[in-house]
Structures are given as structure tokens and as C-alpha cells.
Structure 1
Amino acid sequence: MTNSNALKVLLYADGSPHSLSAAVYAASLFSNLPDMQLTILSVEESVSGAIEREYNLLETWSSNHSSVWMGHVMNKEGTQEEAEYSEILTVTNKIFARRGYNVNRQIIYANYNIPDITKAIIDYAAKKHFGLIIMGTRGLSNLKGLIYGSLAHNVLNKSDIPVMLIKKLPQDFIDEYCCLGDEE
């Protein structure tokens, strides 16, 4: 049963260290707001338009996290970037699953550029009536960043829904928070 007064929070996860910081922050928020409904959103590249796939993170994690869920998320094989992405997503999953938080996982597909991803995130959040979007910030230092700005700042500036931007947390804080459930 879901509480109709619960805060619906959308956490954007792109597999970066900054999105891990946002996940740790969202998990700490979750522990203080037990009625919070959290959905972790990822965007995958697609040139054929928006498609949505939803998974319950707690059910998927406890059944077979490495082959079932990761198979849906990962499209490339064998790259260093994929290994880092996979590791961060695994840690993100553990943060919520170990604590028994009922978290949904949503994958949407969009053209892989900042304006289209921004639109996809905002459209999904509005369509599903989220009350808050949480994102990690890292900014872009290349030409793309100068032209479009960062994804997080684009979402912040274009969204009618409140957006909470989380800077990268100190690594020792992240490590300590991620290990909290190990001794349980």
C-alpha cells in the first residue's frame, strides 16, 4: 500500500561518481522520510524515441542482480567505462537493497545529447508526478559543456519540479555510508 501523501522522489543515476554521491544523499533522505517513494532513473541511448522500462530494485536485487537487472542496463561489453559504471550501479543498488528500501528502477531511452536527455528526464518526472528530482553535479569542461551547459543545470533551469543538486561527497563519507549495512 502506498501513502498518497508520500514524497515521490526521482534520483537520476548515470553511473558516475557524482551520481553515487546523489544516491548516498537520497538514501540518507530516505532514512529520515520513511514514506518517501524513490525511483532511480537512468537514460540509455536510443535514436528511435522514448521507451520506458521499470524494475523494482529490491525484488530484482534479491533475485539475481548481476545477470537479470544488469543485463537490461548494460549494452556495451568489456570497456573500462562499463566496468566503472557497473561498479557504481552495484554499490548504488546495495545502498538501498541492504537497508530494505522499496525502490523502483526506471530506464528511459532518448537521443544521447544534453537537450534530449534533459527533456526526457523532465517529461518523465512530470508525467509520473514526482515532487523532487535529485541529481549529482559534475559539469562539462569540453566544447559541449560550453554550448549546452551541464545536464544537471539544464534540468534545474528548465524543470517546474524542484531539483536538488548534490556535489560529490567526500569519498570517506561515501565509503563509511556504504559499509553501514555490512555488519547487520
Structure 2
Amino acid sequence: MYKKILYPTDFSETAEIALKHVKAFKTLKAEEVILLHVIDEREIKKRDIFSLLLGVAGLNKSVEEFENELKNKLTEEAKNKMENIKKELEDVGFKVKDIIVVGIPHEEIVKIAEDEGVDIIIMGSHGKTNLKEILLGSVTENVIKKSNKPVLVVKRKNS
């Protein structure tokens, strides 16, 4: 029933907990995992503003050059982290496709779930902000609202 899984990760503690659930789906005959990391374009824009305020752009770099360097740096960091996760999933017996995109996280997750024809999305309830007072993180909440796919939400650890 759930042959193809989308596992979006922001490399947070809650995403690591969700990874354990993804692996458990192997016993339910799941075959493939789409491993996804979305670099939030809004964070890049925020950093652009800070770079201008701090004068980084004044070092003979345009905002576009700074933005491209930042995207490349974040992509490289994500690739390194994803390699370990990909190996873990392959060791369990999954076929794994890894994707890194720049965009608005919930929009990209919903789009890739449709484009890849996944059967289920498995994700953590909260990302890196991990505000204790809220029931769900905004990315997770938006994915649940906007996706036509079933979403398994894995709770964070109680502290």
C-alpha cells in the first residue's frame, strides 16, 4: 500500500525521529524513499538583507553573487548530511532518490509529493525552530492542509 515514501528533512532532531519511522515502513513492504531537503528561499533573502547591512555586499559582490554563494554553500552542506541518511536508508534495503531544492518548504514538499507520485509523506511535527508552545510547526501544518497525500506526522521528544 505504501510503496513510495517522501521523507522531507531539515536535519532537526524531530526529523531524525521521523527517519526511524521511515525505516520501519520497510517491514510494511515499502520500496522507495524520496529524500528531500528544501533550502528556504526566505532565509536566503533574510541573509541578503543582513549581508547588505553588514557591508558584505560592499566587498565587490553583488547581492546576486552573495545569494548564489550562499545557495551553493547551503546545498553542499545539505548534500553531505543527506549522503549519510541515504546510506542508512539503502542499508535497510530502500531504493533512494535524493532531492535538494530552493523554495518555500511546504510548497516544495507538496509539489514533489505529487510529481514523484508518493504514497505517503513522513515528516517531523516541528523543524529547527522547535517552539514548545505550538502544536505543529508551520511547514508541517501547511503540508497537511495542502497535500492530497496522507501525511504521517512524528512527534518531537518530550523534554
TM-score band w.r.t. shorter chain: 0.5 to 0.7
Preserved contact between residue 24 and residue 95 of structure 1 (Cα < 8 Å)? no
Q: Output the CA distance in 2 between the equivalents of 1:14 and 1:168.
A: 13
2:27 to 6, 26, 31: 31
Q: Report which of the two has the higher share of helix.
A: 2
Shift of 1:132: 0.9
Greater CA radius of gyration, 1 or 2?
A: 2
- State the AA in 2 paired with 1:107: I
1:158 to 146, 149, 156: 146
Cα distance, 1:86–1:131 mapped onto 2, change above 3 Å: closer
Q: Which 5+ residue runs of structure 1 have no aligned equivalent?
A: 49-72, 77-81, 111-115, 171-184
Are 1:12 and 2:8 an aligned pair? yes
SS at match of 1:126: helix
Q: Output the CA distance in 1 between the equivalents of 2:157 and 2:145.
A: 23
Are 1:141 and 2:115 an aligned pair? no
Shift of 1:162: 0.9
- 1:64-75 to 2 correspondence within 5 Å? 75=73
- State the AA in 1 paired with 2:151: V
Over aligned residues, Cα RMSD in angstroms?
Answer: 3.5
1:17-65: CA deviations, max 9, x gaps?
111111111011123314x3211111124479xxxxxxxxxxxxxxxxx
Q: Which 5+ residue runs of structure 2 have no aligned equivalent?
A: 45-70
Shift of 1:94: 4.1
Q: Output the CA distance in 1 between the equivalents of 2:105 and 2:116.
A: 16
1:106-136: CA deviations, max 9, x gaps?
11211xxxxx321111112112222211101
Range moving further from structure 2, 22-31 or 94-103 = 94-103
Preserved contact between residue 132 and residue 164 of structure 1 (Cα < 8 Å)? yes
- State the AA in 1 paired with 2:131: S
Shift of 1:74: 7.2
In percent, how many aligned pairs have the same letter? 22
Equivalenced residues, count: 126
- State the AA in 2 paired with 1:42: H
Cα distance, 1:149–1:129 mapped onto 2, change above 3 Å: same
Q: In structure 2, what is the equivalent of residue 113 of structure 1?
A: none
Q: Output the CA distance in 1 between the equivalents of 2:80 and 2:116.
A: 28
SS at match of 2:100: strand
Moved over 4 A (4+): 85-91
- 1:36-51 to 2 correspondence within 5 Å? 36-46=31-41
1:63-93: CA deviations, max 9, x gaps?
xxxxxxxxxx9725xxxxx7xx789646533
TM norm structure 1: 0.55
Are 1:131 and 2:106 an aligned pair? no
TM norm structure 2: 0.62
